A = this chain, B = another copy of it.
Amino acid sequence: VIVITVITMNPLRDLPRRAPSWQDVRARLASYIAERGLKQSRQRDAITEVFFATPGHVSADELVLRVRSVDKRVSVATVYRTLKLLGESGLASSRDFGEGQTRWESAVGRPHHDHLVCTQCGKIVEFANDEIERLQATVARRHGFHVESHRLELYGRCGDCGPARGRARDGEGR
């Protein structure tokens, strides 16, 4: 599946378009590492640099390929370990679009947002909608919950792929 991330204008609230600053990322990761007595390494640097240079939503698998095109000497395990580290440091966040693998994206300079996923071509469009967020909080409160996080994904056909030919499949609830 080809996954393309498109950040589009959102009439309700534009997602910031400024690219994550590599300087900023590097500094934040360095301090995170220093604070915990961890160590830097060639692999960590390479993986991090490639990750933040990659737009959209990458899987560990894809990241391994990309990193190796730059530095052959990086193992799969280290990529997994580094992604985990980036997640813990708050620099990256993971998503599961139900493909059976986890996808990662930069969390630097990127406030919360949700996703529209094209079931035909795999395109992923990000969006943010304060009104939906507000309603979610209201619903949760009504049930005595205090929401810590949520996940919202809309699956359907994007403009380019047009309407489904057959009827929408059912069964798999979503």
Q: How many residues of A contact B (CB 8 A)?
A: 57
Contact with B along A33-54 (1 / 0, CB 8 A): 0000000000000000000000
- Which single residue of chain B is at the shortest CB-CB distance from A140? B154
Residues of chain A in range 115-174 having any CB-CB distance to chain B below 8 Å: 116, 118-119, 125, 127, 129, 131-132, 135-136, 139-140, 142-160, 163-164, 168, 170-174
Q: Which of A15-23, A71-79, A82-90 contacts B (4 or more CB under 8 A)?
A: A82-90
Which chain B residues border A89 with CB–CB below 8 Å?
171
Shortest Cβ distance from residue A137 to the other chain B in the assembled complex, whole angstroms: 9
Main secondary structure of the interface of A (DSSP, over half): mixed
Known contacts: A132-B132, A132-B136, A150-B153. The answer to whether A144 contacts B158 by CB under 8 A is yes
Is A92 on the interface with B (CB-CB < 8 A)?
A: yes
